[in-house]
Amino acid sequence: MSDQADPPFDPADLAPRPGTRLAIVGGCGGIGRALVSAALKADLRVAVLDLPASLAAHPAPAGVAAHALDATCEDQVAAAFAALDRAWGGLDALVNLAGFMMMRRPFDQTPAGDWRSIVDGSLETTHVVARAALPLLRRAGGGAIVHTASGLAYRVLPGYAPYSAAKAGVIALTKAIALENAPAIRANVIAPGAVDTEFLSGGTGRAGIATQLDREAYLKTIPLGRLAVANDVVGPILFLLGGGARYMTGQVLMINGGGLMP
């Protein structure tokens, strides 16, 4: 029998506690804006880090710190987190929503430049951002990270090779971060299916390309019978950041209406 204390469950632990210092990379996208709104309602301290064009299109709300960066650029990411550290003196939680895809093509017809751009947009951003955020999380005594993968990391479809490979890499990298930084820092992954945001039509920052989703065919594969909306993803993110998920690390949380059950 364990001799560890097991405090009573507190429903407040289903989200981060008020005052939690949360950085959201990609906070200007559809999911990001919904997450910012929910975090403010929960009385979290919020910083949004995103591309200059994204911040111009969707300025951060009042009371939210905004830092412009290209998350594939190590120097820009380091400068943004240094500024955040000067303002906050540490960090309690990180959510990285960065990522994009381009025109669907067979693997052997994908230009090398497009391959690198897509992999950099998801996997390299995860690497660069996590390296910059970890010292701040350690300074705070620990915290939680949520990275973003995709169901396409598990069920690979024709034309998505670089995106699927990048998102599978995000999952593996997150597991490594979880192992190497336990028990103080937890790291988990969300893997959404298609979400009805600007991402499906090209994104909010980079010159992306629509995902060419056949909505009618896609919906036939979803037991819950509808496309996800941004707030369907917000709840699982906040749960993974909160104390209710205190015994979860290195895990992948599927958010797809039942369309994929690995």
Helices and strands, counts by H and E, the chain: 8, 7
Given 154, 163, 218, 247, which residue is catalytic?
A: 163
Burial class (CB in 10 A: 0-12, 13-18, 19+), 216: exposed
Any catalytic annotation for residue 163?
yes
Cβ-contact 127, 76 below 8 angstroms: no
- Give me the helix-helix angle, 125-139 and 74-88, nearest 10°: 20
Both structure tokens of 186: 């937890």
Q: Which residues contact 217 (CB under 8 A, 6 or more apart)?
A: none
Catalytic residues: 163
